[in-house]
Structure 1
Amino acid sequence: MKKLTRMLAALVGFGCLALSLTACGSRESLSKQDVLTNDRASNTITWGVKAETKLFGLMDVKDNQVKGFDVDIAKAITKKILGKNGQAKFVQVTSQTRIPLLKNGNIDAIIATMTITPERAKQVDFSDSYFDAGQSLLVKKGSPVKSVKDLNKPGVKVLGVTGANSVANIKKFAPKAKVLELSDYAQAMTALKSGQGAALTTDNGILYGMAVQNPGYTVVGGAFTKEPYGIAINKGQQPLKDEVNKALEEIQADGTYNRILKKWFGNVAGFDYKEAAR
């Protein structure tokens, strides 16, 4: 029995090794493919977008379509790269899943309120910035919290989203506060409403969208960081990155960018549309 057990273990181990090598080979093969060439052949670019972030990417339950600023920018870029008949396909991502999905080849690019940071740039390549956000705070109207300084006290809880750059930032600006991380903004908003935190923190553009959905809450404190959003592309995909940057320049030059910006942010209370326009 002991001999049989050893033989079975050896066979299982060999099988796992074979599967591991096969998986590695698949990933290596994928990394060597030219995404832009594949996209042109299929006439489709697959984008990772958020589906729970008002103004940038939110699922419309009426038609099950994700809609928002990021989605419209992705569509405009797709048309510039592939032509008027080019198709933009959208895959839902979160702050935690977006890079793994890109690395695995499930999506071609990420356009999902993703701040360009040196740490992330080690994993992915970024396009030029397409939206200049800044981190701020969302609180219940009448809250004593007026700025990030008001959070820097022992026992104060601040709500954030796992994988978001804002979590690391709040630990720098309010080190005495305790940060409670949720999986997405919907859960973070629910936590704020139930009193689990004194404030919810992330980029101001996202917070303005949450304030629109929740009139009893307001954005305070101004922007205490600079958070330029970029489109993330896999390492080694320079042709696609070049085309994305070229398309960004074109939609800014021909007025498409400002039309999309005005569509989503032109009437948002507190948002300076003219300052953000390009």
Structure 2
Amino acid sequence: MKKLGLLSLLLILTIFISACGSNDGKNAGEEKKNEKVYKVGVDTTYPPFEFKEGNEYKGIDIDLINAVAKDQNFKIKLTPMDFGGIIPAMQANQLDVAIAGMSITEDRKKVVDFSTPYFDAGLTVVVTKDNKTTKSVADLKGKTVAVKKGTTGAKYAQDNASELKIKVVQFNDSPAMFQEVSNGNADALIEDYPVISYAIAQKDLGLKTVGDRLNGDQYGIAVLKGENQDLLKKINDGLANLKKDGKYDEIIKTYLGE
């Protein structure tokens, strides 16, 4: 009887331990399943910052946000969309973060909080290679200028349209805007300097930049204003770490050779 009782006790203990182990595994799986994944808005028609090559997303912004997430141990999911729809998507709580070559402006600061700047950009005027008459923004008087919707280039053109006496036409993506000028349907375009410089270097678009940079734009990573402040701190800490350990320079050099 004592032997039988001991065997019964051992059996009960085995079942109990197995049950506990099973629950621990289940809880761990549930924790992993419920781990927060931040949705990151990107515009994949914006090389060298964001573009798609085959089935893979590449670019300065893509590599940078992946490196920041790895450094700070959080998960992300890239969500490609037109640039002009990114901030509205954040306002509709469809995105947690935006990294899309987004210039830090006072207007945007009203609805989003930016990270520390991660890139110095600036706008430039772009014309066809055979254009001999347009040497600066002052030479655009009476001309048609192409811009990309929702960008600082579009805002600059619209804000200065009356003074410069230009007609502004807007496009959803950079390639369509480039094509408009290459085809002669627009006289010039206004674009971020690093973006158009990279595009021209990668492929003969028949375009060239002219004149000085029109402003001193800086790019930042954005979260909805007043929201995700813990995440914003992680992003800033991650950027600082990447710049300190040389990873940031490595990413920039990969795409711009600087």
Instruction: Give the shorter-chain TM-score range.
Output: 0.7 to 0.9
- Shift of residue 43, structure 1, vs aligned partner: 5.7
Kindly indicate whether the alpha-carbon contact (under 8 Å) linking 1:46 and 1:108 is maintained by their aligned counterparts in 2: yes
Aligned-pair Cα RMSD in Å: 2.1
Kindly indicate whether the alpha-carbon contact (under 8 Å) linking 2:121 and 2:192 is maintained by their aligned counterparts in 1: yes
Instruction: Please show how residues 254-273 of structure 1 align to structure 2 within 5 Å.
Output: 254-266=245-257, 273=258
Large movers: runs of 4+ above 3 Å:
38-41
Taking structure 2 as the reference length, what is the TM-score of the superposition? 0.80
CA deviation vs aligned residue, 1:57-86 (integer Å, no higher than 9, x gap): 1111x2x2221011000111111111xxx5
Query: Aligned residue for 1:251?
Result: 242
Kindly indicate whether the alpha-carbon contact (under 8 Å) linking 2:72 and 2:238 is maintained by their aligned counterparts in 1: yes
One of 154, 161, 172 as aligned partner of 2:148: 161
Kindly indicate whether the alpha-carbon contact (under 8 Å) linking 2:42 and 2:83 is maintained by their aligned counterparts in 1: no
Query: Aligned residue for 2:222?
Result: 232
Among the aligned pairs, what percent are the same residue?
Answer: 30
Amino acid at match of 2:106: P
Query: Aligned residue for 1:133?
Result: 121
Over 3 Å counting, the alpha-carbon distance change for 1:70 and 1:194 in structure 2 is same
SS at match of 1:219: strand
Taking structure 1 as the reference length, what is the TM-score of the superposition? 0.75
- Shift of residue 245, structure 1, vs aligned partner: 0.8
- Shift of residue 95, structure 1, vs aligned partner: 2.2
One of 61, 70, 79 as aligned partner of 2:61: 70
Aligned pairs, how many?
A: 223
Query: Aligned residue for 1:217?
Result: 207
SS at match of 2:249: helix
One of 187, 194, 202 as aligned partner of 2:176: 187
Query: Aligned residue for 1:56?
Result: 49
Structure 1: runs of 5 or more not aligned: 1-37, 267-272, 274-278
The separation in 1 between residues aligned to 2:52 and 2:78, in whole angstroms, is 11
- Shift of residue 40, structure 1, vs aligned partner: 11
The separation in 2 between residues aligned to 1:225 and 1:256, in whole angstroms, is 28
The separation in 1 between residues aligned to 2:248 and 2:117, in whole angstroms, is 12
The separation in 2 between residues aligned to 1:233 and 1:40, in whole angstroms, is 24
Query: Aligned residue for 1:32?
Result: none
Amino acid at match of 1:136: T
1:89 aligns with 2:77: yes
The separation in 1 between residues aligned to 2:32 and 2:86, in whole angstroms, is 19
Which is further off, 166-175 or 142-151?
166-175
Kindly indicate whether the alpha-carbon contact (under 8 Å) linking 1:126 and 1:232 is maintained by their aligned counterparts in 2: yes
- Shift of residue 103, structure 1, vs aligned partner: 1.9
- Shift of residue 223, structure 1, vs aligned partner: 1.2
Amino acid at match of 2:94: N
Which structure has the larger Rg over C-alpha atoms? 2
One of 174, 182, 186 as aligned partner of 1:197: 186
Amino acid at match of 1:48: G
- Shift of residue 201, structure 1, vs aligned partner: 0.7
Kindly indicate whether the alpha-carbon contact (under 8 Å) linking 1:162 and 1:181 is maintained by their aligned counterparts in 2: yes
Amino acid at match of 1:163: G
One of 98, 102, 105 as aligned partner of 1:114: 102
SS at match of 2:38: strand
- Shift of residue 41, structure 1, vs aligned partner: 5.3
